[in-house]
Amino acid sequence: MTDPGSTANDRPQDPPVALVTGASGGMGGEIARELSATHRVIAVGRNRARLEALLVSLDGASGGASAGSGHGGHEAWVLDVTDEAAIADRVAGLDRLDVLVHAAAIARTYGVDAAEAADWAEHFAVNVTAPAVLTRRTLPLLRASQGTAVFIGSGASTRPVPGSAVYAASKHALRAVADVLRIDEEPHRIRVVTIAPGQTDTEMLRGLVPPESYDPERYIRPESVAAALRFVVDAPADVQITDIAVRPRQEIARI
């Protein structure tokens, strides 16, 4: 029951809202955890069980708010980021968005000599087109909040990776999307950021490196990428941090 003597200024303000794609993965999940300390998180991913486990941990950390309760609780969208109709339907139900994080991605090892047209199409659909379309859908909300759009790029977008032409090309393209968006949205004061991690200890990397060569101690922890994102989100209002390269402490020439 509301205290009849209270005023609007006495009641807590609605928390800012952050939407994180790829939240059922290692890096996206850690980003969601990091942001949950200050934001109501919408975790987007394809793996229902992992998202449900993530929500339990987020709600526990934020005092037990129930997911999707409409009272500041975190929520999950179980969907594929390439499903434009589902994305449009979900975004239409939002009335606020302060931070948009594009962490969903795929990476498979293909050189030009091996990649089929379908391989190129799949990578660009997930890694480039989906983030661009989701951003377009959420722009009115981000403009209203003068929010922040974060694109999780890759070190592969700044240096060649042997045998990874398709993935590297998609991350180069994603960087171009972010750079043009930053210019185009300058009048609306949307901050647009590319965070480009090097090799990070995730399930994706484990799928690219032979097990006998995989040493987690050599790679960046997903939590460290999330900490870099926190630095970006908390930047003073008069600046935007446009590009951050997150590299392993000891450089790895090739994976």
**Can you give the CATH number for the domain in which 135 is found?**
3.40.50.720
* Sequence letter at residue 204: M
Residue 55, CB-side half-sphere exposure with 13 Å CA sphere: 22
108 inside domain: yes
87 inside domain: yes
Q: How confident is the model at residue 114 (pLDDT cuts 50, 70, 90)?
A: very high
6 inside domain: no
Among 105-109, 212-216, 219-223, the range scoring the smallest mean pLDDT is 212-216
191 inside domain: yes
Inter-axis angle of helices 130-145 and 165-184, to 10 degrees? 30
207 inside domain: yes
Residue labelled with tokens 């800012």:
16
3-state secondary structure of 112: coil
Q: Per the structure, how many domains does the chain have?
A: 1
The three-point CA angle 25-137-223 to 5° equals 25
112 inside domain: yes
Q: Assess contact for 210 and 230: CB atoms under 8 A.
A: no
Q: Which two tokens stand for residue 65?
A: 């708010």
Selected residue with higher pLDDT from 153 and 205: 153
3-state secondary structure of 232: helix
Residue 125 belongs to what domain range?
17-246
Q: Assess contact for 164 and 109: CB atoms under 8 A.
A: yes
pTM of the model: 0.86
Report d(CA 232, CA 23) in Å as an integer. 18
The three-point CA angle 245-75-233 to 5° equals 30
Q: Which two tokens stand for residue 160?
A: 């060649």
59 inside domain: yes
Among 91-95, 105-109, 204-208, 227-231, the range scoring the smallest mean pLDDT is 204-208
10 inside domain: no
